[in-house]
Each structure stands twice: as C-alpha cells, then as structure tokens.
Chains A and B, each alone.
Chain A
Amino acid sequence: MNLTKDKTGVMTTARKGWNPRLVVFACNWCSYAGADTAGVSRIQHQPHFRMIRVMCSGRIQPGFVLRAFEKGADGVLVSGCHFGDCHYVFGNEKAVEQFEKTKSVVKMLGLEEGRLRLEWISAAEGARFAQVIDEFIEQLRELGPSPLSRARSGDEAAGALTPEAEEVEARV
C-alpha cells in the first residue's frame, strides 16, 4: 500500500484523484473502543475518515452533524452502543431522536440521504467497525463530493464563500 501524508498531516492510502472525507462521531464507551479493537486487531479498512469522540451518542445533536457538512464533509457517521448497552442507559435513544431531526433537515437542505448514517458498534465489534467504514466510504465514492464542497462560483449569486469554506475548498 502506498502511504502518504495528506495536507492535514494524516497518513492516507489516498487513491489517485478524489477521496471522500467522512466524519465519524463515536461514543467513548462502545464505538470508539470498537475502532480501537479494529486497530489492535490490525483489521484493514479505508482511512478516509476523521473521528470525533463524544462521551455518549446522546450528545450528538443536529448542530454537530450540520457543522461537519458545513465544513465540507462528504459524509457523517453517528455511532454508539447497541440498545441496552449505553453507559448512560438511554443516551442512544436520545441519539435516535436527534438523528431523526438531523436526517429531516439534511434532506430539506438537499443533501443526499446516503451521506448520513447511524450505526451501533460495540467495543468488541472491531470487524464490524471496519466493515461499516468500508461500506460507507464506498457509498460516498459513488455519491461523489458533497455538493456543498463542490459548489463554488458556478452558483454566481452565492459565489462568495465563508473563510472556512474557502479553506476547505483549498484543500480539496
């Protein structure tokens, strides 16, 4: 495999051309540990994601996901413990409520539904973590870059980009 550093300093096996940028929100107790398990078990998976650890999936409100898309993410994965396993008992049920709102707003905004996913991954499920990531990255490859990171002066009236957006553009 051809390991190189991308501009943000992350080691990647970037294929030539475009690679999706996936933001993964993971709860501290299950999904993040699941990713760890994948790592220590040396399970190969796609590297094109940035992980954000939160204490519980119940913390992930629409604003977090929307911000990721605003900053140019091509996809967002929300992950947490299986039902009954949440360390705060009902956190993941809250997460579902929040996720449903997020999904509706993302749809209203006109982003493809396939850019957003909710998955339960336990600390033991390293292989499942790798599989979810691989599948999602593949799906994002099919969808192509987020229209929000692609849109630029083509849309004359909205040509002006926010400074952050410009920065994101520069990295694409």
Chain B
Amino acid sequence: MSELQAVTTGTRTWACYDCGKCTATCPIARAGAQYSPRRHVLAANSGQKAEVLEESGSLFTCLTCSLCDSRCPAEVAYTPLVQKLREVAYKEGVEPDCPHGGALQSLMRMMARGGTQQDRMGWLTEDMKTTPDQGEVFFFTGCTMYFDTLFPELEANTLDATRASVQLMNRLGITPVVSPEERCCGHDLLWNGDRKGFEALARFNVDLVKKSGAETLVASCAECVRTWKLDFEPFFEGKPPKIVHISELLAERLGELPLKGNGGRKVTFQDPCRLGRHLGVYDAPREVLDALPGVERVEMPRSGKRAQCCAGGTWSHCDRYAKKIQTERLKEARATGADVLATACPKCQIHYRCAMKDPNLGGDIGIEMRDVAQLALEALGEEDTSH
C-alpha cells in the first residue's frame, strides 16, 4: 500500500465514482479557481503522491468547509482526506502560503513549544466572576485575544463574544474556570498539516482541563469546539468532559435568562462550517436568536447544511477567490433585508470584516456583524441584585 493509500483509510475515497459533484459544489472552484477536489481524491486513490504534492498549492486552498462532503453521493469524506494529505505535504516540507506572513502559525507553534508565561487575561473585567484553576465548568477562550491584537484595523473585536460568554455564564450562576495557562487548541496547526505541533497542544490542553476537574467545557469559538469534540478524542484518558458551544449551553437554559427586547431587528445567521457541517449543530444558535424578544430571524438562501463558509480556511490560504466568496455571501446576507449578520465563530467575523474593508465594495457589502452570544447579552435585562 502506498503512503497515500494508507492515509485515505476511513475517508472512503475508494467509493468515488468520479461524478465531479464535489468540484461542482466547491465554492473555490465556483469562484473560478483552478481547483478540483475530485482530482485529489483520484490522485490519492491511485497513490500518485507527486500529483498531490504538485497540486499542493491547491491542496492548501481548500477551505475545509465540508460542503463537498455533504453533497458527495458516494459519501467520500474529502475534508478529513485533505487534512491527511496536508500532513503528507507538510512532512515533505511543503508549506502553505500562509496569509499574514504566517504570523498565526508561528504563534501557535510557539504556544505548542511552551516555556513562556502568557499574558492573555487582560480582557477580563472586574465584574466577571471566573476562577483560574478549579471548577465545574471550564471556559476555553481560544485565541481571540491574539486575533484582536494582530488585526485591530479590522475592528472585529472578537473578544466581545468571549466576554459576553463569561457574562452570560455568570448570569446562569456559573463561575467558569478561565485559565491563564490555556494554549491555542491547535486547530489551525492540524489543518495546516503540522500534526506534531497539534499533538503537543492537544496533550497540554487536555491535561489542563483534566486538572481543573471540570465536567463541562464551554467555548465560544466553533473551531475550538470542533477540535475538542472530534480531534482531542485520542488524548483523553478516562471520561472526557461534556463539550458544548456557548450557543448550545444558552439554548439549553434559555428559560433561566431574563431576556428583554431591545428594539426590533432582523437578524440572519451565518452557520460557521465547524459548528454546522462539522458538528451538526444548526439549531442551537437559531433557538437562541428566536428567543430574543424583538429579533426576527431571516434565513439566507444558502443556510444550514448548505451554508457558505467565511472562506478564511484555517489561515492556510487567502486570495481573490476567497474575497469573491466573502463578497457574494455578504451580498446574500444583505439581500435578506437583515440589519445584523449573526455568527458563532470569531473567524467568521474576522474574515467577513476583512472583506468589508474593501474600499471599492464597502458600501455594497457592509453589514453589522455580531456573535450570537453578544446579541443574547444585549437582550439581557439588568441583573437583579436585590437578593
């Protein structure tokens, strides 16, 4: 068995019957790029390593959005395949054209390395109740503090959703563990082919949460939730904590939140690919939105399983096709008549806001963006502190 055939285990590439639906569905191919998931499947199947590596430029352009997986009549798992092919490419020294000069990858590798004491808690405000080490609920913050520092010009303020999540949990009577020791979940290293770096982060974070004694892990980043739920699995010893996205926690306990109206607003929802197609969580964020008084939810034509992802693609690539995808998606959001484009992942905010900064298009595609957690917090009445 060739190396390539070995990595295809479990991805059902053998079932491919060359119909080309994946390529026809793929947003990058549709945006006009020379890109064909079908060719990767064929090359992997027949063990043509050179072809896959030669195509590495395109191997790293895949958004890993799983749209093709959801369409494939033969149930080929292209997204897991691309993850493994990237590992092969990475081992061969093929590196993606990382956007932002590879700043994110470097940061993550340094975190994987360890040895420094991070100063990552500056976003916490005094009114938030958290504990640094032990507790029942662990709030995994992810890297939003780094994103906001690296991209102030985008004004994505991804920390707002991180803060909102803590505040909402506090209102639900939860004092979450927010650890100064936390490190990146490794999602992007894994999807850039750097398995070693990913595993170092996985082991570290699993151990950290284990030591906290937490039974539930909450994250407001869809990628963190995906990584914890699906990729950390081999690293748990004993019972893993229950892993939920903040929108799932909120949906479960909506009755306990005194939600008040804050004016009528139309909101449309961008399903993050990690939360939607990767984890199958489509309803929770919608339940939260529907529970907010004064919020009218409108759907984009491509939503739920068919949603278009933000085209940020794991920081492994960014080009004019990504920009085209984002532009069209933002137009789609505006065409619903929505005032607000809600999402549940910091990356969606970053990449869409980046598109909105285009001085030539700004006026046509601009729309207010908010995280579901932020909207929920805004709808909360004043805390009753009388008792």
Residues of A within 8 A of B (CB): 61-64, 66-67, 69-70, 101, 104-105, 107-111, 147-148, 150-151, 154-155, 157-163, 165
**Chain A residues near B103 (CB, 8 Å)?**
61-63, 66-67, 105
Q: Once bound together, how far apart are the Cα atoms of A105 and B201, in whole Å?
A: 19
- A70, B116: Cβ atoms under 8 Å? no
A37 to chain B, nearest CB (A): 29
- A109, B118: Cβ atoms under 8 Å? yes
- B101, A148: Cβ atoms under 8 Å? no
- B117, A162: Cβ atoms under 8 Å? no
- B145, A69: Cβ atoms under 8 Å? no
**Which partner residue on chain A sits nearest B197 by CB separation?**
A162
**Which partner residue on chain B sits nearest A61 by CB separation?**
B101
- B110, A69: Cβ atoms under 8 Å? yes
Q: Once bound together, how far apart are the Cα atoms of A63 and B149, in whole Å?
A: 13
B219 at the interface (CB under 8 A from A): no
- A157, B149: Cβ atoms under 8 Å? no
B 97-115 binary contact with A (CB < 8 Å = 1; else 0): 0101111001101111111
Residues of B within 8 A of A (CB): 98, 100-103, 106-107, 109-120, 122, 145-146, 149-150, 152, 183, 194, 196-197, 199-201, 203-204, 207-208
Interface majority SS (helix, strand, loop, mixed), chain A: helix
Q: Once bound together, how far apart are the Cα atoms of A132 and B196, in whole Å?
A: 38
- A165, B113: Cβ atoms under 8 Å? yes
**Chain A residues near B118 (CB, 8 Å)?**
108-110
Q: Which are the 7 A-B pairs with shortest beta-carbon distances?
A: A63-B101, A151-B115, A110-B116, A63-B103, A158-B114, A157-B204, A66-B106
Task: Tell me which of B114, B146, B203 has the highest count of chain A C-beta atoms within 10 A of its own C-beta.
Answer: B114
- B146, A163: Cβ atoms under 8 Å? no
Q: Once bound together, how far apart are the Cα atoms of A105 and B110, in whole Å?
A: 12
- A158, B112: Cβ atoms under 8 Å? yes
B330 to chain A, nearest CB (A): 26
Given the known inter-chain contacts A69-B110, A70-B109, A110-B116, please indicate yes or no for A162 contacting B194, CB distance below 8 A.
yes
**Which partner residue on chain B sits nearest A63 by CB separation?**
B101
Among candidates B107, B183, B203, B208, residue contacting A105 with C-beta atoms closer than 8 Å: B107
Given the known inter-chain contacts A105-B107, A105-B150, A110-B119, please indicate yes or no for A62 contacting B101, CB distance below 8 A.
yes
- B146, A105: Cβ atoms under 8 Å? yes
- B150, A148: Cβ atoms under 8 Å? no
- A148, B106: Cβ atoms under 8 Å? no
Q: Once bound together, how far apart are the Cα atoms of A155 and B100, in whole Å?
A: 29
**Chain B residues near A107 (CB, 8 Å)?**
119
